[in-house]
Amino acid sequence: MKIFKFNELKSADLVVDAIYRGGEVKNLQSEVLSKLVGVGNAGGFRYKGSLPNPKLVVLTSNGSEGAWPDFLDPFTGVLDYYGDNRKAGELHSTKKGGNKILKDSFDRLHGDKEERLDSPVFLYFSKWGTGYDWQFKGLIVPGGQSISNDDELIAIWRTAEANRFQNYRAKFTVLDVGIIKRDWLDDILMGRNKLTNAPKEYKDWIVNKKYRPLLAPPVSLIRTKAEQLPSQKNEFKLLSYLHKKFPKEIAYKFEPIALAIWTLICTSKVSADITRRSVDGGRDAIGHLLVGADSDPLQLDFALEAKCYEPNSSVGVKETSRLISRLRRHHFGVLVTTSYVAEQAYKEIRDDGHPIAIISGIDIVNTLIKNDINTEAKLEKWLTLVGHWH
């Protein structure tokens, strides 16, 4: 991992996944992004130039906005990023103007190359550590090759203090550009020709609206314990609250909750039923997904197993073998657990090619938060509506 020191920022290139160190004093004099790329020193949206059409926009994620879970998918190179209307207010009237930037940029996306060229250059950074350090995640552009026009920029509803309001969820693509040279950054900041020193991937997007995403699939398909559980305190607290709602003597009442979580995760239509405890055959729920055209869908059958375990207690070989043995021909399995799958069990599933989707603690939390279930009070209400378990 490459690290740039604070005194190197003004001349540094932007390297994907590199860390850019803040200063030693504990105030904004140690702030990184204003020195590195000339943008503002605070906020999620930081830009260089004047609204409504800045030259450069930096989008940042600090990992602490539980209700707004920005997410970069390494498999597809697609970034889900939330706008800055995060309290009750009009969608486009935010102080920093972030939502107006999003609207204007996505409007230009479907114009000609001159309109795309007129859009700001977008960079994405995520917070690193506890100080002023940031990690560069990539050069991003609005939309994506496989993203429909209807899904590129969506105004979603949220509730705060009994007031309903809207905020944007935008989809960007991280381009396959490993290094952004300082020459191009200087061209942008000085208002010179934006394409002279631009990366080829960016030129292709401007001229032909061609997306070349940065794809980074994992080397191993076996997630570690740390990768299966939340790392943020507020996320772990939410998972623990869910687990404690279903002590061992009523753990079976977690089954409809697990099925509801799986339904939220699936992008396809799900039809399923909870099995009767006396005749479940090792399956807590059975159902199917419908994929393909609505006029001629394909039905994919699955069996679901729910394990409401304490987050630090693993699901082992015994439990996973039980699910595997109950899978019928052409069925796939779904394992939903508030904890994690132990390494040996995970390895056997993947090495032997068993068709099982593993939904662990981090997946549950991410799904809940993505659906605005980000506090214990909201989770309690959702459990009552979904499970009817009490």
Given a cut of 90, whether residue 178 has pLDDT beyond it is: yes
pLDDT of residue 162: 79
Mean pLDDT of the chain: 91
pLDDT of residue 269: 87
Q: Are 300 and 288 in contact (CB under 8 A)?
A: yes
3-state secondary structure of 195: coil
Number of neighbours of residue 291 by Cβ within 10 angstroms: 13
Q: Which amino acid is at 304?
A: L
Please indicate whether the domains covering 3-208 and 225-387 agree at the CATH topology level: no
Check residues 384 and 89 and name the one with the higher pLDDT: 384
Given a cut of 70, whether residue 27 has pLDDT beyond it is: yes
The arithmetic mean of pLDDT across residues 267-276, rounded, is 83
Q: Are 349 and 321 in contact (CB under 8 A)?
A: no
The arithmetic mean of pLDDT across residues 9-32, rounded, is 94
Given a cut of 70, whether residue 268 has pLDDT beyond it is: yes
Alpha helix stretches (DSSP H) within 124-199: 149-152, 182-190
3-state secondary structure of 41: coil
Given a cut of 90, whether residue 217 has pLDDT beyond it is: no
Q: What are phi and psi of 365, to 5 degrees?
A: -65, -45
145-177 tens-digit pLDDT: 989 999 999 999 888 777 889 999 999 999 999
pLDDT of residue 67: 75
pLDDT of residue 278: 46
Q: How far is CA 285 from CA 79, 205, 233, 269, 274, in A?
A: 33, 45, 31, 16, 4
User: Minimum mean pLDDT among 27-31, 83-87, 278-282: which range?
Assistant: 278-282
Q: Which residues, in sequence order, are CB contacts of 36 under 8 Å at separation 6+?
A: 9, 10, 12, 14, 20
Q: How far apart are CA 85 and CA 97, in angstroms?
A: 9
Architecture label for domain 225-387: 3-Layer(aba) Sandwich (3.40)
Check residues 127 and 129 and name the one with the higher pLDDT: 127
Q: Where are the domains of the chain?
A: 3-208, 225-387
Query: CB under 8 Å, gap of 24 or more: what pairs does 118-122 form?
Result: 118/53, 119/53, 120/47, 120/49, 120/53, 120/54, 120/55, 120/56, 120/57, 121/55, 121/56, 121/57, 121/188, 121/194, 121/202, 122/57, 122/58, 122/59, 122/172
Q: What are phi and psi of 151, to 5 degrees?
A: -105, -5
Given a cut of 50, whether residue 24 has pLDDT beyond it is: yes
Given a cut of 70, whether residue 388 has pLDDT beyond it is: no
Q: Which amino acid is at 372?
A: D
pTM of the predicted protein model: 0.82
Query: How is residue 364 written in tokens?
Result: 């549950």
Check residues 277 and 179 and name the one with the higher pLDDT: 179
Q: How far apart are CA 112 and CA 217, in angstroms?
A: 33
Architecture label for domain 3-208: Roll (2.30)
Q: How far apart are CA 326 and CA 45, in angstroms?
A: 50
Given a cut of 80, whether residue 335 has pLDDT beyond it is: yes
User: Minimum mean pLDDT among 50-64, 112-126, 180-194: which range?
Assistant: 50-64
The arithmetic mean of pLDDT across residues 299-325, rounded, is 93
The arithmetic mean of pLDDT across residues 327-336, rounded, is 90
Given a cut of 90, whether residue 367 has pLDDT beyond it is: yes
Percent of the chain with pLDDT over 90: 71
The band of 276, judged by pLDDT with boundaries at 50, 70 and 90, is low
